């Protein structure tokens, strides 16, 4: 089955810095790559996703890049703010199979 | 539209008991997926139901089962509870008709097994 590795497991940055989280996957046929943010005690919420026919997608301070050849994709957050502090999960899906999640990255943004 | 809802939000059970959790998807969504979330293992997939049929299944023992009703509401059941079943159980709904559907999560049911 699909294997998703997510790094780093924890990331501490100063407010205003950029943060980058990277995920690698094993199934070259995977075609859907969402990122979820989960604040403490709350449900995971989709923040951005990308399909396999696109190399990059941006939404304000958040961007995702996909390298299908290397089988990795990354989440980029610019101008981080304390409210960005949360656990971020990447996920991978092939067709109508299940979403396979990475183990998560705890991002801490210090004022 | 109302979001995904789950009931109950909290449960305390003892070993050996069984439990049933409920999930109501977003109106119009036909797919419901269930996940177990624990600090050590992250989000692990249990099963997915689409139009009352199990479409995908994760690697959990047969003590974990589910079903989906004609109104797309779904239930999962865990029999003969073990201490290790303590976790946050999340369901997520999507339309189920596109392979790049967004999955929307419910707030979860926190199960504690004593």
What is residue B49's predicted lDDT score, i.e. its pLDDT? 95
For residue A52, what pLDDT is reported? Answer: 85
**B50 - beta bridge partners?**
B31, B53
User: What number of other Cβ atoms are within 10 A of residue B96's Cβ?
Assistant: 21
Overall residue count recorded for chain A in this entry: 111
Nearest CA-CA partner of B80 in B17, B21, B13: B17
What is residue A40's predicted lDDT score, i.e. its pLDDT? Answer: 92
Residue predicted with more confidence, A94 or A90: A90
pLDDT of chain B along its 114 residues, tens only?
Answer: 789 999 999 999 999 999 999 999 999 999 999 999 998 788 999 999 999 999 999 999 999 999 999 999 999 999 999 999 999 999 999 988 877 788 999 999 999 999
Q: Helix, strand, or coil here: A83?
A: helix
**What mean pLDDT is predicted for residues A98-111?**
95
- How close B56 gets to chain A, by Cα (Å)? 7
Check if A93 contacts B (Cβ < 8 Å): yes
Whole-number Å distance between alpha carbons of A88 and B4: 20
Structure tokens, A27 = 């199934």
Min distance B41 CA to chain A CA atoms (Å): 7
Which residues in chain A are closer than 8 Å to B56, comparing Cβ atoms? 96-98
Percentage of residues of chain A with pLDDT beyond 90? 88
Q: How far is B38 from chain A (nearest CA, A)?
A: 10
User: Are the beta carbons of B48 and A43 separated by less than 8 Å?
Assistant: no
Q: Are B23 and A78 in contact (CB under 8 A)?
A: no
E strand map for chain B: 5-7, 10-13, 19-24, 31-38, 42-50, 53-57, 64-68, 74-78, 87-94, 104-105, 109-113
Look at residue A53 in the predicted model and tell me its pLDDT: 85
Instruction: Give the residue from chain B lying closest to A34, CA to CA.
Output: B102
Looking at beta carbons, which residues of chain A come within 8 Å of B100? 31-32, 49, 51, 93
Distance (Å) of CA A73 to CA A33, A44, A57, B16, B70: 8, 19, 11, 43, 38
Could you report the per-residue pLDDT of A16-36, keeping only the tens digit for each? 999 999 999 999 999 999 999
> A96 falls in which pLDDT band (50, 70, 90)?
confident
Q: Take residue B97 and report the two structure tokens written for it.
A: 């008709």
Q: pLDDT tens, A41-64?
A: 999 999 999 998 889 999 999 999
């Amino acid at each position: 089955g699909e294997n998703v590795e997510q790094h780093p497991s924890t990331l501490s940055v100063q407010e205003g810095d950029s943060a980058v989280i990277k995920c690698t996957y094993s199934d070259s046929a995977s075609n859907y790559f969402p990122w979820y943010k989960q604040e403490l005690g709350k449900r995971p919420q989709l923040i951005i996703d990308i399909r396999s026919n696109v190399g990059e997608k941006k939404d304000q301070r958040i961007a995702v890049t996909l390298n299908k050849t290397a089988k990795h994709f990354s989440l980029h957050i610019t101008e981080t703010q304390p409210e960005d502090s949360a656990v971020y999960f990447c996920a991978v899906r092939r067709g109508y199979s299940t979403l396979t999640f990475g183990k998560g990255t705890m991002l801490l943004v210090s004022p | 539209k109302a979001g995904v809802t789950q009931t109950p939000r909290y449960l305390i059970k003892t070993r050996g008991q069984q439990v049933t959790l409920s999930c109501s998807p977003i109106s119009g969504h036909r797919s419901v997926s269930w996940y177990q979330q624990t600090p050590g293992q992250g989000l692990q997939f249990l099963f997915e139901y689409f139009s009352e049929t199990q479409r995908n299944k994760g690697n959990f023992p047969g003590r974990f089962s589910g079903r989906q009703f004609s109104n797309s509401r779904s239930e999962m059941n865990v029999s003969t509870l073990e201490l290790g079943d303590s976790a946050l159980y999340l369901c997520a709904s999507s339309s189920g008709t596109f392979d790049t559907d967004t999955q929307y999560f419910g707030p979860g049911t926190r199960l504690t097994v004593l």
